Amino acid sequence: MEQNPKIIIVDCDHDKVDTEKAVFDKAGEDFRWLHCLNEEEVIRECQGAVCFLNQYCRMNAKVFEAIPTLKFIVRYGVGVDNVNLEDATKYGVQVCNVPDYGMNEVADQALTLMLGVVRKAWMLAERTRKGGWNYADAIPVHRLSEMTVGIVGTGRIGREFAERVHALKCTILAYDPQYAASGAERLPYITYVDTMDELLAQSDIVSLHCSLDETNRHMMNREAFAKMKDGSYLVNVSRGGLVDEAALDEALTSGKIAGAGLDVFNNEPIEKDNPLFRHENVLITPHEAWYSEEAALELKRKCAEEAVRFLRGEPVKYPVNHIDRE
């Protein structure tokens, strides 16, 4: 096989990589675009590479040991769930993401889902399409300005969402121990609570904007839903693994939860027989919160630029793990 260039796009489901090519051409770097599906294909096809642009393929010790030239991975997106960071650090592989490419889009999607389920617009639209014409089908609907929105995670997207919710004159609570401990400037209209239980008990709407790890997987479980207000709502545009979907189904069935707006799921694409589809006031979208034409191009450009910075020995902008470079 012909020797690989330093940069390989290991996998991405985009229809073209013209944006990345423009960045690499300007930097005088060659690259190869592949569609690897698993670790075995990566190991077979990517020997000799230094930098990976990666979307879905799992990256772990098996890959790092088999490709000793690999020193850098930048993932198309914010989350790096498919990269074992402990293994990457052990093998000296710098991992980066692009945390700021679709902040506005994800915050807008959270707001869209929130309004859709609280105003029951989705449910009424479907009934009207089928010949119905009765606003009373939505009873009860409550005034947004008298509702409390609880935000879990106040990083870039959580803060963008808070800004939008503030414009609706909602009361805003937040739970984020990491952000609270950082000493970062707080937005004056956000009140931080000390525990997740406080946020659940006081919020009419709970919106998730935190990353996923083993400490918070299925943080929204039976116990969490039991602590929420009767008739409250859940919005999740962050990570599907934050929500125990069976527990959410139970909370919706019992009426404990009045509705949910969901863009992410434990298994994607979501199965056709997922019980969540049974509930009229569950608004489901296909993990599209990140998307706009502008965001998609920004993501591709920033991934490519990060790879070029690494190859030039420049500081990377979005490191996820810490690697000492000689």
Q: Which residues are catalytic?
A: 239, 268, 287
Q: CB under 8 Å to 269, separation ≥6 — which residues? A: 286
Could you give the 3-state DSSP secondary structure of residue 95?
strand
Q: Give the H/E segment covering residue 123.
A: helix 121-129
Question: Which residues sit opposite 243 in a β-bridge?
Answer: 220
Amino acid sitting at position 249: D
* CA-based nearest residue to 28, from 312, 229, 220, 293: 312
Q: Contact 226/196 with Cβ under 8 angstroms?
A: no
Q: Contact 207/200 with Cβ under 8 angstroms?
A: no
Peptide bond into 269 cis (omega under 30): yes
Query: How many angstroms separate the Cα of 268 from the Cα of each of 74, 222, 265, 287?
Result: 22, 22, 6, 8
